[in-house]
Structure 1
Amino acid sequence: MAHEGTSLEKGSCKIFEEFHVDSQVGFALPNPLEELPCPYSKWIDIAKNLPTLIDTDQLRGKVEELPELDIEGLPGHRCQRLAHLALSYITMAYVWNKGDEDVRKGMPPILIYADCVLANWKKKDPNGPMTYENMDILFSFPGGDCSKGFFLVSLLVELAAVPAIKVIPTIYLAMEQEDNTTLQKALCEIKTSLDKALEVFRQIHDYVDSNLFYNVLRIYLSGWSNNPKLPDGLLYEGVYDTPKEYAGGSAAQSSLFQCFDVLLGIQHKEGESSAFLQNMRTYMPPAHRNFLHSLESKPSLRSFIKSKNNATLKESYNKCVAAMVNLRNYHLSIVVKYIITPSRQKSKQNQTSETSEEEENKGTGGTNLMDFLKTVKKRTEDFLL
């Protein structure tokens, strides 16, 4: 866990050690475990066979066959039958971070971005490169390779930005020392990395079919917040007495883009988009959430550059902001292809559907995607100097 006043200027090791940011894979989990010890091993067996179990209607039966779990210190820690599902969600974060007390309390009990992207990968050849061709995912959903394409491209976007994360301590040190040359070079590194992330993002068209994503995978990523099919949320039987509302796995739960928003001084402080982004932080691993808080406590890069009569610094800063705008603009085009267009096609095919287009166009996080992304993009543009 990070503590208030942690000094990022002490070097990259502070990021790597204290905020659980890896020097090679950034916010992703290095070397995710493929197997877990009892009593979780049987859950892993189910996870590895999810598509088949779902397609053959065997999933419920397999869950009912699982032995009773007994996890000391967790609410409702002795549950039977389908209550196993509730308990598995509650213990998910506990397992991911090896029982860390603070992480256990901080992770929401639902499938999140960190689970399906940051901790859902492996290399085919352990000595090979981190490329799509040499990587696979640990668990998937029905829809063929759609899960693999969506999760791995998202991960590769994260990896492309790792060099930018690594220069953050350099930026604060350069500001402290009034070293404009070093600062300018660091800003160029961020711009280059964000451009690379956009280049990688474009690979989604090669690996993810829009109809499979919309009609199959999206179902499993949706949560129970602002979900018309679950207006009161979902009851975690045997754990809680009342239904809970949680957002589904969303790219907004990635620490990556909020990290660069904070660093560049891009503030989303108004309206629903701001509230949503703040809420999505609660779906991030707590150490990453604390990393964002730590950046917010640091001197303002934007203010520093505004105070300098340095055209080169200003230009380099604006290129970073423009790179963020480009990523968000491209995200809008992806939403049109993978959600808006399939939604309209579905409406035409099923004129009697009681599901409104507004409901179909909601993101897995529960927002109206186009309104949210347009607002965030416009707000980012407003911070160009």
Structure 2
Amino acid sequence: MAADSESLFSLDTYHVSEELGFILPDPLEELPPYYQPWMDIALRVPDLVHSHELRLHINKMPLLGTQHLQKHRELRLAHLALSVMTMGYTWQEGENNTVEMLPHNLAVPYWEVSQRLGLPPILTHADAVLANWRKKNPEGPFDMENLELLLSLPGGDSVRGFFMVTLLVELAAVPALRNIPTVINGVRCGETEAVARALEDISQSIQDMTDALKLMHVYVEPSVFYGIMRIYLSGWKDNPSMPNGLVYEGVQIEPMEYSGGSAAQSSLLHCFDELLGVKHEAKSSAFLTRMRDYMPPEHKQLIQDISSQPSLKNFVQQQDSERLNQAFQHCVTKLLHLRNYHINVVSRFITVPAARARQLRDRSQDSEGEMISRAPTALEERGTGGSGIMTFLKTVRDQTKDAFLPERRTEMNHQS
């Protein structure tokens, strides 16, 4: 039976692009001339942090009103620029000399732009990855050789590598996103074959995400990521270096707490979990739900709307279709593989360097060792989003197994 077209589920209302998914299409590279004082500093953040002059420059910056920012892409570039300045300002001197207050000439416009976008006043995945790219050759391919950042943080080529590889993971997910409405509408209309075909495409797309993630090992140096970059992705919630949070001067007197950047701020896995019926235990679920407040509101709404659809898993169990059964199981398998691979990446870039840093602190060090041992001790066991990282990732991975249909779950449990 056909569903009435009025009620068909579609991605049109969620700021999701047919070609780029959650990625912001054609981000602006310049703000209106009035905002040049922001861009002049934002473009130089790595150098100014290195010379210990960023705070000085920001303290002298004029207070600019946000009324000349009209379009969505202007607001996104402004948020990115103010975010990069804020992370550099806060962490300029590392974990031991943090600030308690963001000056009003940065804090007030940052708060206003954040309110208009529905984003928090801290660097998020939506800034650093989704709205922070340009093609060197506009006609050229969307690949590592042809992509560069609009704004950067300390860490050189590894910063570009980290954000651009993450962008390519987002791009690899686009076919999966495009197929989610097909699955939802197929379940509503009882179209077994259409759902099976869409799930097969989603499986392939999740595999492509894992393959894209493998580029981290090519483009990001673990000692640079751990020793230099991570602190600039860290927030002021659940962070021992800033136990009281940060006062946004001119916004409110009490300090505010916000989590740093986290892969959990990408809407992709949230969408797949809701579609496939992956349920997380209380603590993981609370963290993941909180991370949705760090996404553009339309993307958060998409996740919520997927979660309120009829259960795909129940539909698969009710149909007598081997192809549909296999397509569903395959999707969960690929999601499990992606989460396993993410654990391997985190181990190489965080767990191993953290162990090395503990060993090196009391010894004479080579340059790589020195970089690692200078890394913030507060982040040794935690993700930049504030979670106890390995426990969290393994719990989330293990709960993905529970999404399997019963016969496959028994098999998986015997293997683990």
Which residue of 132, 135, 142 maps to 2:154? 142
Match of 1:234 in 2: 246
- Tell me how large the CA RMSD over aligned residues is: 2.2
Mapping for residues 168-207 of structure 1, pairs under 5 Å: 168-207=180-219
Match of 1:24 in 2: 19
Counterpart CA distance in 2 for 1:89 and 1:309 is 55
Give the aligned residue type for 1:281: R
Q: Name the CA shift for 1:287/1:356 in 2 (closer, same or farther; >3 Å).
A: closer
Match of 1:77 in 2: none
Match of 2:36 in 1: 41
Match of 2:92 in 1: none
TM-score of the superposition, structure 2-length normalised?
A: 0.82
8 Å contact from structure 2 (residues 161, 216) kept in 1 = yes
> Does 2:375 align with 1:379?
no
Following superposition, the deviation at residue 64 of structure 1 comes to 2.1
Mapping for residues 218-233 of structure 1, pairs under 5 Å: 218-233=230-245
Which residue of 329, 343, 354 maps to 1:343? 354
Q: Name the CA shift for 1:303/1:363 in 2 (closer, same or farther; >3 Å).
A: same
8 Å contact from structure 1 (residues 234, 244) kept in 2 = yes
Aligned residues: 359
Match of 2:311 in 1: 300
Q: Deviations over 1:122-151 (max 9, x none)?
A: 111111111111110111111111110000
Following superposition, the deviation at residue 84 of structure 1 comes to 2.1
Q: Secondary structure at the match of 2:290?
A: helix
Q: Secondary structure at the match of 1:122?
A: strand
Counterpart CA distance in 1 for 2:137 and 2:119 is 31
Q: Name the CA shift for 1:359/1:156 in 2 (closer, same or farther; >3 Å).
A: closer
Q: Name the CA shift for 1:349/1:81 in 2 (closer, same or farther; >3 Å).
A: closer
Counterpart CA distance in 1 for 2:155 and 2:349 is 14
Which residue of 264, 271, 277 maps to 2:288? 277
8 Å contact from structure 1 (residues 128, 134) kept in 2 = yes
Which residue of 363, 374, 380 maps to 2:383? 363
Following superposition, the deviation at residue 355 of structure 1 comes to 9.9
Q: Name the CA shift for 1:166/1:115 in 2 (closer, same or farther; >3 Å).
A: same
Q: Secondary structure at the match of 1:365?
A: coil
Which residue of 324, 337, 360 maps to 2:335? 324
Q: Name the CA shift for 1:359/1:132 in 2 (closer, same or farther; >3 Å).
A: closer
Match of 2:108 in 1: 87
Q: Deviations over 1:171-221 (max 9, x none)?
A: 122223322111111000000000001001000000000000001110100
Runs of at least 5 residues in structure 1 that lack an aligned partner in the other structure: 1-6, 73-79, 95-100
Give the aligned residue type for 1:380: T
Q: Secondary structure at the match of 1:245?
A: coil
Q: Deviations over 1:43-95 (max 9, x none)?
A: 122111111111112211221222122347xxxxxxx993223224314436x
Q: Secondary structure at the match of 1:194?
A: helix
Runs of at least 5 residues in structure 2 that lack an aligned partner in the other structure: 68-100, 364-372, 406-416
Match of 2:11 in 1: 15
Q: Name the CA shift for 1:92/1:133 in 2 (closer, same or farther; >3 Å).
A: farther
> Does 2:53 align with 1:58?
yes
Identical-pair percentage: 44
Q: Secondary structure at the match of 1:45?
A: helix
